[in-house]
Structures are given as C-alpha cells and as structure tokens.
C-alpha cells in the first residue's frame, strides 16, 4: 500500500511538473471562465463603461464651461451694477460696442467718469475684455480703440496686450477641456500629425505665434481653440500672444486717440497701417529663418 501511494504521488508530481499538462489545465480554466455567464456580463459592462467614460467626460466638461460662462456673466453684472449712478440718457450707451459708433458713445460716457472713478472704469474694461476673449465673442477691437481714447498710450497698450494674452489663454484652457478630446476621438491621425509637426518646431513656437497674431491669415479665436489640440504649450502661447497683438493694438490705440472724430467709414486700417503690420510680421520670422540657416551651415 505504501509503495502504491508513493508511486501515485510520484505520478501526480510528474504530471504537475509537466509544462504541457500545466498549459492544458490553464486552457481548461480559461474556457470555463469565458463560458461562465457572470464573466460575460462583467466583460460587457466593462466595455460599456469604456465607451461611456469619454462621453461622460465630455458632458462634464461642457457643464463646466457652461458654469464658467454663467459665473462670468454674473461678474459682468456685478461690474455694471457697482458702477457709479448714471444719468438716464447715459444708460443706453453702456453696453458692449459692436461698431465704431457704439465705441464712440460708450467712450463719451466713460470719459465723464474716468477721473473720479478711474479704478472702476479700468476694471470694467479689463473684465469685459477678458470675457470677450475667453469666450471668443467679437468686439474686442472696439475695446482696444476705446482704451486708446480713455487712457495714455503706454497704459492702454499694456492693458490691451495683457487682456488679450490672458483672455486667449483662458480660451485655450476651455478648449483643452472639450476640443482636444473631441478632435482626438474623431480625427486621431490628423491630430497626431499636427502635434508631431508642432513638436518639431517647439523651439520656434514663440516666433510663429507672434507671426500669426500680427497677420490676418487665421482668426484669433481659431488660434485660441486649435492651439491646445495640437499640443502648443501654454507659456509660448501666452508670451507670443502678448507680444504678437502689440502691433495691431498699436494701430487700434492710435485710432482711439481720435475716436471723437471717427465715423463708421473712417474706422478702417490705412495703407500705412497695413505696411507697418506686414513689416512687424516679417521681423517676427527673422529669428526662425536665421536659426534654420545656421543649422544648415553647421550640418
């Protein structure tokens, strides 16, 4: 009996140590697990979860953007109602300027209160400008003209450049919440190609951003929304925007200094302005061209 038991134990040990037998046993276990109805239901629920998670994330991002928009509207309302008491005929002119006439009428109202309520006037323009830039709402060009009318040139230029860069960066962050996820979901190959191209030009992104802000080839709102999708870092984006909007803002602020004399037909860029902007655009690309030439020379 003892001998038989020892032989059986030896046979069992041998079968366990046999790799082929071990693989067969593992295959049997896998088949049993896969055929188990509870396992199949778990796999289906896991797959459904993977599909629903991106949709839920997108919905959450949209709700976040909507909440930020509502909070921003409340901020604008607070600025409006905390402003000094206006005359009845002035209230109708305190609104977002959509054309040069609106900017002129708003400028005349604010100019009356600027000296006594300088902080309130500047704070109102500051918050409104960032609001328009953040949510890609047209009209910021008229606020730039208005700044040229209300403030000294250096203050107006610094205010416009800072508001443009900060508002554009906030739009950049909002786009990264939804836009990036949507583009990579529906056009992953294209987005990856664009991101790879941006990565190759990482050292020159500041100059390219300055160039795009000066030239009218792409709308500013389009740049703000697309930049996070193609992996443009926030630092060169902000700096490039700050310095890139300076030349067109220079022209707008100069226009604002004669705002009271302007009519709708006069509010256009002159040929001198166009030539000046083109010159700035060329200058912004000189460092990039110089780097490429030096690299070829040393290679």
Per-residue pLDDT averaged across 154-161, rounded? 95
Give the DSSP per-residue string, 155-180: HHHHHHHHHHHHHHHHHHHHHHHHHH
Q: Is the model more confident about 49 or about 238? A: 238
Please give the pLDDT value at position 295: 61
Q: Is the model more confident about 3 or about 190? A: 190
Which of 6-15, 165-174, 185-194, 265-274 has the least mean pLDDT? 6-15
| Percentage of the chain exceeding pLDDT 70 | 69
pLDDT for 251 beyond 50: yes
Taking only the tens place, the pLDDT of each residue in 232-244 is 999 999 999 999 9
> What is the C-alpha to C-alpha distance for residues 269 and 131, in angstroms, rounded to an integer?
25
Taking only the tens place, the pLDDT of each residue in 189-224 is 877 887 887 888 788 889 889 998 988 788 888 899
> What is the C-alpha to C-alpha distance for residues 241 and 218, in angstroms, rounded to an integer?
13
pLDDT band at 263 (very low <50, low <70, confident <90, very high): low
pLDDT for 99 beyond 70: yes
pTM of the model: 0.71
Please give the structure tokens belonging to residue 95. 């609104």
Q: Is the model more confident about 46 or about 175? A: 175
Highest mean predicted confidence (pLDDT) among 40-44, 175-179, 280-284: 175-179
Give the DSSP per-residue string, 247-293: HHHHHHHHHHTTGGG--TTT-S--HHHHHHHHHHHHHHHHHHHHHHH
């Amino acid at each position: 009996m003892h001998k038989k038991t020892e032989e059986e134990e030896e046979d069992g040990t041998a079968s366990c140590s046999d790799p082929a037998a071990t693989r067969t046993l593992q295959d049997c276990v896998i088949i049993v697990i896969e055929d188990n109805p509870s396992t199949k239901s778990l796999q289906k629920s896991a797959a459904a979860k993977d599909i629903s998670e991106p949709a839920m994330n997108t919905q959450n991002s949209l709700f976040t953007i909507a909440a930020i928009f509502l909070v921003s509207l409340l901020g604008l309302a607070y600025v409006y109602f905390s402003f000094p008491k206006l005359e009845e005929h002035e209230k109708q002119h305190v609104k977002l300027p959509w054309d040069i006439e609106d900017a002129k009428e708003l400028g005349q109202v604010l100019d009356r209160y600027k000296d006594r309520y300088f902080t309130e006037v500047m704070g109102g323009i500051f918050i409104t400008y960032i609001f328009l830039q953040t949510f890609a709402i047209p009209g910021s060009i008229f606020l730039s003209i208005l700044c040229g009318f209300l403030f000294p040139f250096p203050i107006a230029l610094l205010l416009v450049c800072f508001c443009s860069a900060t508002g554009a960066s906030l739009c950049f962050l909002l786009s990264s919440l939804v836009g990036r996820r949507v583009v990579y979901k529906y056009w992953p190959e294209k987005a990856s190609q664009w991101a790879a191209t941006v990565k190759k030009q990482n050292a020159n992104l500041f100059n390219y951003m300055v160039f795009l802000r000066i030239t009218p080839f792409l709308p500013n709102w389009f740049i703000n929304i697309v930049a996070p999708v193609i992996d443009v870092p926030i630092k060169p984006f902000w700096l490039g925007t700050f310095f890139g909007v300076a030349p067109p803002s220079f022209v707008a602020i100069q226009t604002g200094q004669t705002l009271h004399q302007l009519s709708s037909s006069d509010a256009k860029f002159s040929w001198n302005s166009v030539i000046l902007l083109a010159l700035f655009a060329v200058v912004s690309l000189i460092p990039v061209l110089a780097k490429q030439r030096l690299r070829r020379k040393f290679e």
